[in-house]
Structure 1
Amino acid sequence: MGKIILENIRLFGYHGCMQEEGRIGSHYTTNIEIELNINEAAIHDDLSKTVDYVHLYSLVEEEMKINSKLIEHLAKRIIQRIRKRYKEFLIKHIKVKICKENPPLQGDVDRVCVILDD
């Protein structure tokens, strides 16, 4: 077993329940962790035997462009797309963490984050 981890993918998006969030947008940071068997890729030096992290980045970028009220929903969509695209690899575990930078709160908060494990 092994893990593929993408840390601190920084993108801009329009997610939130408040009307202003849909107009103004915000910066988001996304982390993805995928646990799967990467032994064949390691032995044979073959990208086709593993999950391509370049594609994972593109997938997150595409999903970030689709507005959601909740970042929980965005995280679930990302997991579903990963599972659908890489079903042949029998992924054991996916963890997605999405943080909204400077959330519209009445206090001093750097970010609010959601972690979804599947």
Structure 2
Amino acid sequence: MGIIKVSNIKLYAYHGCLEEEAKIGSEYRVDIKVKADLKKSAKTDKLVDTVDYVHLNHIVKEEMAIRSELLEEVAQRILDRAFKEIRMIKKAKVAVAKINPPIGGNVEEVVIILTKKR
């Protein structure tokens, strides 16, 4: 078993419950960590035998582009799609952070973390 992490994916998106968030958007950060059997790819040196982190990044970017009111829903979509498209993933964890959320205080970020297991 091995781990592949794609960290600090920075995006601009339009998630949130407030109308202003749909109009002006906000900065987000996404981290995704997957567990898979990487023994074969460690021997073959072939991309087809591993979890392609370019594919993970692509999934994150596409799902973050779809507006949601809640970060939980976005995180779940990212997990569901990763499991559907990349069969060798055994377990995954995704963290979606809204940077400087509009919650009436000096808050650096709000983070939603979800995990899924096959």
Provide the aligned C-alpha RMSD in A.
0.6
Q: Which residue of 2 aligns with 1:72?
A: 72
Q: Which residue of 1 aligns with 2:27?
A: 27
Shift of 1:55: 1.2
Letter in 1 for 2:101: P
Letter in 2 for 1:15: H
Letter in 1 for 2:91: H
Letter in 2 for 1:104: P
TM-score by length of structure 2 reads 0.96
Shift of 1:106: 1.1
Shift of 1:38: 0.5
Q: Which consecutive segments of 4 or more residues in structure 1 shift more than 3 A?
A: none
Query: Which digits, 9 at most, give the CA deviation of each residue in 1:75-98, with x for residues without a partner?
Result: 0000011001012x1x22100001
Q: Which residue of 1 aligns with 2:46?
A: 46
- Aligned runs of 1:1-118 on 2, under 5 Å? 1-87=1-87, 89=88, 91-118=89-116
Shift of 1:58: 1.1
Identity %: 46
Q: Within 1, Cα distance between the matches of 2:43 and 2:34?
A: 19
Q: Within 2, Cα distance between the matches of 1:52 and 1:42?
A: 13
Letter in 1 for 2:102: P
Q: Within 2, Cα distance between the matches of 1:52 and 1:92?
A: 14
Q: Within 1, Cα distance between the matches of 2:16 and 2:3?
A: 31
Letter in 2 for 1:13: A
The secondary structure found in structure 1 opposite 2:84 is helix
Q: Within 1, Cα distance between the matches of 2:34 and 2:56?
A: 10
What are the ranges of 5 or more consecutive residues in structure 2 without an aligned counterpart?
A: none
Query: Which digits, 9 at most, give the CA deviation of each residue in 1:24-78, with x for residues without a partner?
Result: 1000000000001011001110110111101111111111110000010000000
